[in-house]
Amino acid sequence: MPSPLHPLTTDIVPPERFTYPFCYEPHPLCLLAAEEVKQEIARINPTEGKMFGVLVVKQGDGSFVTPGDVTKEPSPCYMAAYSGLLEGRNDWPYFVPPVFDAQDPNGYFKTKEREISLTTHLSPLTSKKMSQDLQLWLFHQYQFLNAKGETKDLVEVWQDYHCSPRIRRRYPLPPGGTGDCCAPKLLQYAYQHGLKPLCMAEFWWGPSPKSEIRHHGEFYPACRGKCKPILTWMLQGLDVDPSPDAEGFPHLVPEVVYEDETIAVINKPSGLLSIPGRTEDHSVATWAQQRWPGSQPVHRLDMWTSGIILIAKTNEAYHHLQKQFTEHTVKKKYLAIVEGVPAKEHGIIDLPLLSDPMNRPRQIVDFEHGKRAITEYRVLASAQGVSALLALWPHTGRTHQLRMHCAHEQGLGCPILGDELYGRKADRLYLQAQAIGFVHPTTGRKMHFELPAEFSLNDPFVV
């Protein structure tokens, strides 16, 4: 089989540290490699959407690799991979092989799989037990190296990562397909052949899946559910870029729009958490506690969404306002700039949403298990057919509801500008909680607050 190493003719300087795979900007070397891989993908012309990855490498002694004939000027090399199978195959010669070949028709896994499926005299319980044992056997065949030269099988990697008893009970073993994503394949091949990883990137090619949102040609981080346990192990021994979550965020301060003895209305800036996160304590909640001891936010906004948040200064006010949210009597209006222009000027989006357990915090559309989510929208203005300013009224309050309803092809098919999860990066997320209406918890008066729009279609990044 031909070598999956491909030279890059370039003067681009490699990065000092390896890519943090869960949040990154593709390095120019990866962009160059990806363009070459796209030509190969076009030649194959796959019928399904698929994630592809590139890994730029050098020899372990620091010199660059040149596969094939020796040249005067050694060049960096890259390798490519695809997640799972590509057109039903895992042996395309341009790409690195799988960590373990479970598709060999004469191998133990496929032979045993056929044996189980053809055995009709067994009880369903016995048949299920045999399938589970076979799956466990397969997990043990995935032997992952790290940069130190150490090896662990998939079960060890998974259980060492999920050391919490609660998480271990929920996910005692990895889901099917774990270990077949791009990043583990690429790193495994590099380690096996004494190559030092320099940088890595993954991109989507083809139509989006029906439940998720993927844009053709766009770069994405590695999945957290299946890949983070494996990559946490495989990256040991490499000098890796730090996680942005570990670096903290600027301590932004909200603006007080209104306050009295029992409530406050604040304007949260984009980039401030509503409640403390796993690694970052500063948030609207902690700021409010310091300013008004005993207070707490009544609802939340995503970190990168700006706009109005209600603060209850007393428990009585909190429970009164919470009841209004539960009964859907609180009226909220958002502004958003989206990529593209919706087909209709006004409408209702009704798409059920479910958290993706293998790729949090992403949401997916799931008509069987998802919770109903309803959003009303109106196009306020459009610019040259490439972007639009929308008013959005959520009638339910699901996680990422507005972002998913705008981006998903069964919604508007127009992602919010700057939405890194469901669209493309920009200088900010162009989503603002602009207005809110509710009943004051102690006076009973109807209250309405509306902020000036923070952005317009004339902003430099929009046009």
DSSP helix/strand/coil, 227: helix
HSE, CB side, 13 Å, CA atoms: give it for residue 324.
22
Q: How many CB atoms lie within 10 A of CB 409?
A: 13
Contact 8, 77 (CB under 8 A): yes
Is 11 catalytic? The answer is no
Strand partners, 439: 446
Tokens standing for residue 177: 């397909």
Quick one: which of 407, 347, 410, 335 has its CA closest to 377? 347
Quick one: which of 305, 247, 312 has its CA closest to 421? 305
Contact 183, 21 (CB under 8 A): yes
Catalytic residue among 11, 241, 281, 302, which?
A: 302
Tokens standing for residue 131: 């399938």
Q: Is the dihedral of CA 405, 408, 409, 413 positive or negative?
A: positive
**Cα distance between residue 396 and residue 411, in whole Å:** 15
DSSP helix/strand/coil, 297: strand
Q: Which of the residues are catalytic?
A: 302
